[in-house]
């Protein structure tokens, strides 16, 4: 029997909570994806508030690349990935945006 969306989402949250010791929210999950895309590992450096926001943006772009909304075009000299919008209209209301992110986070993490 195939798992429901909510069951898969709960499994992802449980996996991340077990791995990092606390219940993640959407921002922390997107930050984690951004870190993975930027460094491929958890770095031992501190990020400024602006860099943390940029990492969350990278996370959103990386996740929505699965749905064909963005494409990574290059990495700059500091290693930051840069994306551009390639297609697909994103929903305007917040609940639909969150649903789109959740669906693509499940794909990103393989759940």
Q: What tokens appear for 87 in the block?
A: 């297609």
85 vs 73: CA distance, rounded Å: 10
Q: What is the number of domains present in the chain?
A: 1
pLDDT of residue 78: 86
23 vs 97: CA distance, rounded Å: 21
pTM summary value: 0.88
Q: Could you tell me the residue range of the domain that residue 38 belongs to? A: 5-109
pLDDT of residue 43: 65
Predicted confidence (pLDDT) per residue in 15-24, tens digit: 999 999 999 9
Full DSSP string of 62-104: HHHHTTTSEEEEEE-TT--EEEEE-S-PPPSSHHHHHHHHHHH
Predicted confidence (pLDDT) per residue in 28-71, tens digit: 999 999 999 998 766 677 889 999 999 999 999 999 997 889 99
- Please answer whether residues 54 and 27 qualify as being in contact, where contact means their C-beta atoms are separated by less than 8 angstroms: no
């Amino acid at each position: 029997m195939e798992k429901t969306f909510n069951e898969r989402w709960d499994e992802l949250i449980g996996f991340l909570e077990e791995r990092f010791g606390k219940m993640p929210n959407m921002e922390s999950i997107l930050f984690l994806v951004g870190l993975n895309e930027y460094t491929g590992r958890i770095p031992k450096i501190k990020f400024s508030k602006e860099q943390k926001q940029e990492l969350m943006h990278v996370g959103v772009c990386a996740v929505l690349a699965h749905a064909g909304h963005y494409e990574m075009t290059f990495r700059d000299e500091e290693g930051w990935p840069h994306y551009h919008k390639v297609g697909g209209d994103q929903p305007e209301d917040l609940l639909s945006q969150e649903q789109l992110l959740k669906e693509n986070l499940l794909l990103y993490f393989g759940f």
